[in-house]
Structure 1
Amino acid sequence: MNFFEKLKNRGKSSFPIAVGASATGKMVKMEQLSDPVFSSGAIGPCCGIDPQEGKIYAPIDGEVVTLMDSLHALGIKGAQGVEILIHVGIDTVNLNGKGFRAHVKAKDKIKKGQLLLEIDQAVIKEAGYLDTVITVVTNGSEFSSVEVMDQSDVQVGMDIMQIH
């Protein structure tokens, strides 16, 4: 960035960064998630959504940096270096991709609200797993705060977190 651009952008902030809901459904607080890796915040501040339908959308603009072979999880890098993990279900890695369909691949540029994955909720539930869609800010400690909104019912794109 050249000197004049720096002057023009001085004082402007890209924060807070709004993280949108990746699914429509009931929000689940971090502490109420049934997997202790998530409920303890071990990999970062997070929340879940019990989805009404089997469609998972991008919570931010960015780039898909990782898409697991089992399609149950993907990583996104967004503005200001924010790293988001979308993890669909608890123990769904054991399905080895059965019931999952990806609409993106690693290195794809994505826009908030873009369809990322489709899941067959019946397949997941028949296997005895939960289909909770968990959104994690995996590098939350690099920011001054990550505020999880107190929501009950959410729609795709509705703000569920603010990163400061």
Structure 2
Amino acid sequence: MTWEPLAVARRHPVRTFGATGGVFALLFILTESVQSLLAGRGFTLPSGFLWLFVFGGVLGGALLAWLLWERLGAERSPRYGAAVGALVGLFALPVPFYVLELALVVARGIPFEPQPGVSPLVQLLTDFALLLFVPLFLGVLGLLPTYGGTVVIGGLVGYLLARE
């Protein structure tokens, strides 16, 4: 039995997207350290907070591939594969923010200030909307420093996985 990396990746798209997300995040957080090394200032490891993005890249890529890949029929054609892969790349970035937000809720409770004069139901709905949309907003803003690289890499991986 021969080991062909692309065949193994096709059999395990969830793991493939998770690994790709982690590697992309790792390369992204190490960029500044490598630039510093090349400029002669030495190599310093990124802060502990930035390592959360590597974890989030793995978790986000795998989770979204698990949710979307087969359900949207991405394996049917390279075009579908590229589209679903791009969606995985787009929405994987907010996952670390959701992890941080959940940790903050567990540690301190709801992080948003109560609005004066608002009914408890409206306050609950407002807090829920903020918990849902703030990480998405931060994830979309995260596309700026990566120049949309997560979407491009996700689309490329999806294309390669769906190609025969």
TM-score (norm 2): 0.23
In proportion to residue count, which structure has more strand?
1
Larger radius of gyration: 2
In proportion to residue count, which structure has more helix?
2
TM-score (norm 1): 0.23
